[in-house]
Chains A and B, each alone.
Chain A
Amino acid sequence: MLQGRDLTCVRGDRRLFKGVSFTVEAGGLMQVNGPNGSGKTSLLRMLCGLSNPAMGEITWNGEAIKSLAGAYHSELTYIGHLSGTKDDLTALENLRIASALSGIQITEKQASDALAHMGLEGREALPAKVLSQGQRRRVALARLLVSKTKLWILDEPLAALDVMAVKLIQGLLDQHLTNGGMVVLTTHQDINITAASTIQLQLA
């Protein structure tokens, strides 16, 4: 269970939001909405523990994420704006290294299966710099297929993806939620996901 209480975010001398509270249960989806610059990414980075809220507290199963540190990170997959794909590495290497970094070591077979599932069959051995924006996004999102974590925090996962890929990701999220996982995401597109509980969080 991920819980936020009275979160306030201050950037420079501007207050982006204040008093944001929510509870995401197992199988729950939270969609963070708001115009550009309203602090969606800042909130997501806070939930990961990358930055600290100016006020308020974030807890995971009742314990502050600050004190859990590594134990919390092993239950979390975060895919941000920057996908963390290296131009000079191939799609396959990128996926294997990104998973290893998040604590899951996968074999070459598993990695190429995941990439094939994301529609990148035959492109596993290409360096990421020759892939298109959407294809790079697919490489980054392929991590979700091999991840065993409970909480997914996704910042604009559908940006740059085509219709087929959007369907694929929706299916993936559906499955994760059915298995009792949790998803926090931001998106400007309409998505159609059924979850045990859905929270729409509106940032001004």
Chain B
Amino acid sequence: MFFWIVQRDLLLAVRRRSDVLTTLFFFVIVVSLFPLSVGPEMNMLRTMAPGVVWVAALLASMLSLGRLFSNDYLDGTLEQMLLSPQSLSFLVLGKALAHWLVTGVPLVLMAPVLGIQYDLPADALFVLTISLLLGTPVLSLIGAIGAALTLGLRGGGVLVSLLVLPLYIPVLIFGAGAVEANMAGLGYDAHLSLLGAFLLVSLVFSPWATAASLRVSME
């Protein structure tokens, strides 16, 4: 059942490629704007790189949250999910996984290429990619709670950013922090361990909280 949901969402993403590409291009363009506007000041670019890439990743991931449940809500599939014998948290986990595969993974793959614009050294690019790999699933999982809470509301898109962005802050701090620590010659293990811990905690709590919010939104 879990795989049916993942497979279905991936199939839908393939059929509507524009949705996926907008998120990715948004990320690429936002990250590329900074070197163009700041100018070729290498030291400054290197300092701001982790923060810029991470903030762009947060915004890009949030951009696609509105679609996470709203299409299923509008065509009645969500009602059927609530009525499935399978537990709703499990289905939600499947949807979050599909969301990450479609929006998170392309960002992770694109980040090292974009990092070159900021003259990041190779090992910093590596740490940046690893931190995004651990952090972006957390964004999808936390975002799912916000998307479920604002389902069917007018102006839900703005509300979802107000709800979700503050919750993204710890991920941002430790994600960008890992790269900064690496460039400062310090160890980055602690940052990555904390990101891993965030991932585990959100894996356990987010599907449950999202399922509860969906039930409330559907009443």
Chain A residues near B85 (CB-CB < 8 A): 70-71, 73-74, 102-103
Chain B residues near A89 (CB-CB < 8 A): 8, 11-12, 15
- Using A73-B85, A97-B8, A102-B84 as known contacts, say yes or no to A84 and B79 having CB atoms under 8 A apart: yes
Chain A residues near B12 (CB-CB < 8 A): 86, 88-89
Q: B165-189: contact bitstring with A at CB < 8 Å (1 yes, 0 no)?
A: 0000000000000000000000000
A45's nearest neighbour on chain B, judged by CB, is B79
Contact B4 A84 (CB under 8 A): no
A80 to B8, CA, bound (A): 21
Tell yes or no: B218 within 8 A of A by CB.
yes
Contact A84 B77 (CB under 8 A): yes
Contact A70 B219 (CB under 8 A): no
- Using A70-B85, A74-B85, A97-B8 as known contacts, say yes or no to A51 and B79 having CB atoms under 8 A apart: no
Contact A81 B76 (CB under 8 A): yes
A93 to B25, CA, bound (A): 30
Chain A residues near B86 (CB-CB < 8 A): 70, 101, 103
Contact A102 B219 (CB under 8 A): no
Q: A101-141: contact bitstring with B at CB < 8 Å (1 yes, 0 no)?
A: 11100000000000000000000000100000000000000
Tell yes or no: B105 within 8 A of A by CB.
no
Contact B80 A102 (CB under 8 A): yes
A88 to B77, CA, bound (A): 13
Q: A62-96: contact bitstring with B at CB < 8 Å (1 yes, 0 no)?
A: 00000000110110101011111111110001000
Contact B76 A51 (CB under 8 A): no
Tell yes or no: A98 within 8 A of B by CB.
yes
A128's nearest neighbour on chain B, judged by CB, is B75
Contact A82 B16 (CB under 8 A): no
Contact B1 A50 (CB under 8 A): no
Chain A residues near B79 (CB-CB < 8 A): 50, 78, 80, 82, 84
A70 to B8, CA, bound (A): 22
A97 to B10, CA, bound (A): 13
Tell yes or no: A100 within 8 A of B by CB.
yes
Tell yes or no: B163 within 8 A of A by CB.
no
Interchain CB contact (< 8 A) of A76 among B4, B74, B83:
B83
A82 to B15, CA, bound (A): 21
Chain A residues near B87 (CB-CB < 8 A): 70
A163 to chain B, nearest CB (A): 25
A71's nearest neighbour on chain B, judged by CB, is B85
Contact B83 A78 (CB under 8 A): yes
Tell yes or no: B81 within 8 A of A by CB.
yes
A165 to B86, CA, bound (A): 31
A103 to B2, CA, bound (A): 11
Contact B84 A103 (CB under 8 A): yes
A81 to B79, CA, bound (A): 11
Interchain CB contact (< 8 A) of A82 among B76, B83, B84:
B76
Chain A residues near B1 (CB-CB < 8 A): 100-101, 103
Chain B residues near A76 (CB-CB < 8 A): 83
A52 to B215, CA, bound (A): 11
Can you sample 24 A-B contacts with CB below 8 Å?
A50-B219, A51-B218, A51-B219, A52-B219, A73-B84, A78-B83, A81-B76, A82-B76, A84-B75, A84-B79, A88-B12, A88-B16, A89-B8, A89-B12, A93-B11, A97-B4, A97-B8, A100-B4, A101-B4, A101-B5, A101-B84, A101-B86, A103-B84, A103-B85
List 14 additional contacts besides A74-B85, A86-B75, A86-B77; criterion CB under 8 Å.
A48-B83, A70-B87, A73-B85, A76-B83, A84-B77, A87-B75, A88-B12, A101-B1, A101-B4, A102-B83, A102-B84, A103-B84, A103-B85, A103-B86
